[in-house]
Amino acid sequence: MSAHLLPAAGRTAVPWRNGGGVTREIVVRPEGADMSGFAWRVSLADVGADGPFSSFAGVDRILTMVEGTGMDLAVGRDRRLVDTPYVPHRFPGDLPTACRLLGGPVVNLNVMWNRGGSPVPGVEVLSPGDGVSVAGGPTALVVALGDSAEVAGLTLGRHDAALLTAEPVTLRGTGPVAVIRVGP
Q: Which of 114, 140, 169 is the last residue of a domain?
A: 114
Task: Return d(Cα 63, Cα 61) in angstroms, integer.
Answer: 6
Is 2 domain-assigned?
A: no
Catalogue the E-assigned strands of 127-175: 132-134, 139-144, 148-151, 154-157, 161-165, 169-174
Tell me the whole-structure pTM to 2 decimals: 0.92
Residue 5 inside a domain? The answer is no
Query: Does residue 63 sit in the same domain as residue 15?
Result: yes
Measured torsion, CA atoms of residues 8, 28, 56, 143, in degrees rounded to the nearest 10:
-40
Q: Which amino acid is at 8?
A: A
Residue 138 maps to which CATH number? 2.60.120.10
- Spell out the residues 6+ positions from residue 77 whose beta carbon is closer than 8 angstroms to its own: none
Instruction: Kindly report the backbone phi and psi dihedral angles of residue 8, in degrees, each rounded to the nearest multiple of 5, phi listed first.
Output: -65, -35
Q: Are residue 76 and residue 132 in the same domain, yes or no?
A: no
Residues 91 and 15 in one domain: yes
Model pLDDT for residues 6-57, shown as the tens digit of each residue = 999 989 999 987 778 899 999 998 888 887 788 899 999 999 999 999 888 9
Total tally of structural domains belonging to the chain: 2
In this structure, are 96 and 29 located in the same domain?
yes
Domain that holds residue 148: 122-182
